[in-house]
Chain A
Amino acid sequence: MEELLQIKDLHVNAENKEILKGINLKINKGEIHVIMGPNGSGKTTTANAILNNPMYKKTNGSIIFNGEDITNSKTDEIARKGIFMSFQSPEEIPGISVTNFLKYAKNKITGEPVRIFEFREEVKKYMDELCMNSNNMERSLNVGFSEEKKKKNEILQMLVLNPKLAILDETDSGLDVDAIRTVSKGIQMYKNENNAVLIITHNTKILSSLKPDYVHILVNGKIVKTGTGELAKEIEDNGYAKYK
């Protein structure tokens, strides 16, 4: 198994408060990992710290991606190295259409000019799979989109940008069963043996069709338990009380 991401003893502050208190995590190519945990346990902080969001300060530890230390790399560099994050609340960007944004980002990520025809075909294919209306392509990015449209749009970006590691932060929150199924389908389309997925969630609905390799329980800034898919089931039945 080839190692893709390794997080070592990561401590992170947000607003001068320590949120992550020594996280260790290793993700190999071909794996699906899940981080579960109660609200405020540091799930979103973990995702933001990997992409080095300047609002989160790392006080200790390191992040190695594909053999390179990216602990202090800029967010856009990290993205270009192949890490993608699906946001819990995607930002609205007025005046920039979905299609132009995708084209622009793809050009930045691949460093190559985007071939318009192929690009259109590719995007259309993904949109069909995700049950998205292609009329939305010319609309401003996320502006006035429903929760479901925003989340599907994140998955669409993941498919088009085709990262080595996709971090999905609460992608399932606020979605109904059908939408979760569609999003899962998108993740399955993306997933292969050369890339990896890190799913951050606090419920288990999305996991039923995805079959995670590892489930980590994050409580109060630390991973308190790591297990297989069975662990998610246990949480579904009994909650986090046991780990608090």
Chain B
Amino acid sequence: MPKTNVNEINRNIYDIKNKDNYDFKIKKGLTEDIIKEISNQKEDPEWMREFRLKALEIYNKLELPTWGPDISELNMDEIATYVKPKTKLNSNWEDVPEDIKNTFDKLGIPEAEKKSLAGVGAQYDSEVVYHSMKEELIKQGVIYTDMETAVKKYPELVKEHFMKCVPIYDHKFVALHGAVWSGGSFVYVPKGVKVDIPLQSYFRLNSPESGQFEHTLIIVDEGASLHFIEGCSAPKYNKVNLHAGCVELYVKDNAYLRYSTIENWSKNMLNLNTKKAIVGKNAQVDWVTGSFGSKISMLYPMSILNGENAKTEYTGISFAGKGQDLDTGFKVIHNAKNTSSVVNSKSISKNGGKCTYRSLVRINENAKNSKSTVSCESLMLDDISISDTIPTNDIRTDEVEFSHEAKIGKISDKTIFYLMSRGISEEDAKAMIVRGFAYPISKELPIEYAVEMNNLINLELEGSIG
């Protein structure tokens, strides 16, 4: 049969290839050869190739974090199998777990996009939308492209900013990211340009292996403004269960950036993502974050307020169900006069899920007359779920206004009775309370994402009535 022949030919090529790389095949862990192979496939320029190798060196030196959730299930000796390009990343549609397929159906995700999200071939054709938007932006001088293209086409801009905001020695997974990053978005908004429609990232649709070590680099130049939306609320399913992405945001003087994201990972995923923003004088960065799915998440977006009058707002929500440990929070460094930060964090846990709010507020000596307001609220839907708050406040000057407020609550039987007395079923009543709790976050999202988030909440709550 012709099919057999083809397989045999492929097999031969594969064997030769294996022979070439025999060395790294038997070595455990991540090696230079693997990184070089990634670099070759990406057709990296020399500086990027060196950068990857440098990151690898640091990766091999750094220890795993010992604080926070237990990530010991991650077998670092076999990390090579997570990062090698084109290996076993494509699974069969039949192998995609039922709960993920159901979620796709209930969220109304089109067939083609489902398969793309599940990492099984068929790329979703969003080119038309993408291009018409791009035309407008090009006229304004906005650069919006995938990260690999940016490395080749805009080397100066990329070199100046790439992993400068999140340095590779930050922690082990950042170093790993630096060595193996793949995919992601690059945005540059020139001075004074106001992009008035939200820019949505389509990176997840471009290649099957993206969405695992993707790199997002956004530069909003002086006086410019942008709203960038990343991800969508359908679960991203990869067979390999490690996600170590990186987001770097540069908000220059007088600029504004709103970065919204809903992350919803399949429930086998370890999500160890790193996101940071550097904010200039009179500039502002706002984060809107929804964290759903994953088995373990460690995610702490950070704003560094380097310019006078710089501002940041963080609005985040996380939802942990059975077997999930979501360790999320926000970090801010006040590094100049008159800077301000506002944090509004919410978490929901049910069926034994665990949500931890872990945060850092540092106000340096030079940040006189700064303000920071932190409010975090947790809602537990039953007695077996866990919620925790671990704030670190490092205030190095007296001339500041600082407040931290934490509230942990349960859905009260009284409230449920009140709603039921208006003809609303117990399940609907709980969903209504949770949607209301999440409203301050969902109202910050574009309508289609807010709707999807509400659908997602309803889905998560289905069958949770004991």
Contacts and interface: CB of A to CB of B under 8 A. Distances in A.
Most buried by B among A75, A78, A101: A75
A243 interface: no
A91 B438 CA distance: 18
Nearest to B434: A95
A151 to B, nearest CB: 14
Contacts of B154: none
B412 to A, nearest CB: 8
B97 interface: no
Given A79-B423, A91-B418, A95-B436, 20 more contacts: A51-B417, A54-B417, A55-B417, A76-B421, A76-B424, A76-B426, A78-B421, A85-B421, A87-B421, A91-B412, A91-B419, A93-B432, A94-B437, A94-B439, A95-B440, A96-B435, A101-B422, A108-B423, A108-B425, A161-B422
B424 A104 contact: yes
A90 B418 contact: yes
Contact of A93 (B420, B421, B425, B433): B433
B436 A79 contact: no
Interface of A: 51, 53-55, 74-76, 78-80, 84-85, 87, 90-91, 93-96, 101, 104-105, 108-109, 140, 157, 161
11 contacts: A55-B413, A75-B420, A91-B412, A94-B439, A95-B438, A95-B439, A96-B439, A105-B424, A109-B422, A109-B423, A161-B423
B436 A84 contact: no
Most buried by A among B412, B420, B425: B420
Contacts of B439: 94-96
A105 B422 contact: yes
Nearest to B377: A94
B436 A91 contact: no
Contacts of B393: none
A175 to B, nearest CB: 20
Contacts of B415: 91, 93
Majority SS of interface residues in chain B? Answer: helix
Interface in B436-462: 436-440
B288 to A, nearest CB: 16
Contact of B418 (A74, A87, A104): A87
B94 to A, nearest CB: 40
Contacts, number: 73
B417 A53 contact: yes
B139 interface: no
Contacts of A140: 436
B169 to A, nearest CB: 42
Given A76-B425, A76-B426, A79-B423, A95 B437 contact: yes
Given A76-B426, A93-B433, A94-B436, A84 B421 contact: yes
Given A76-B425, A76-B426, A96-B436, A91 B414 contact: yes
B420 A79 contact: yes
Contacts of A109: 422-423
Contacts of B412: 91
Given A53-B417, A54-B417, A95 B424 contact: no
A79 B421 contact: yes
Nearest to B425: A76
Interface in B338-363: none
A101 B438 CA distance: 16
Contacts of A54: 413, 417
A215 B413 CA distance: 32
Contacts of B425: 76, 108
Nearest to B412: A91
B431 to A, nearest CB: 11
Contacts of A84: 421
A107 B66 CA distance: 52
Q: Which 4 A-B pairs have the closest CB atoms?
A: A95-B436, A95-B439, A108-B423, A75-B420
Contact of A79 (B422, B432, B440): B422
A221 B218 CA distance: 69
A82 B432 CA distance: 22
B413 A75 contact: no
A76 B436 contact: no
A108 B423 CA distance: 6
A80 B433 CA distance: 20
Contacts of B426: 74, 76
A234 to B, nearest CB: 33
Most buried by B among A85, A93, A157: A93
Contacts of A161: 422-423
Given A95-B436, A96-B435, A105 B417 contact: no
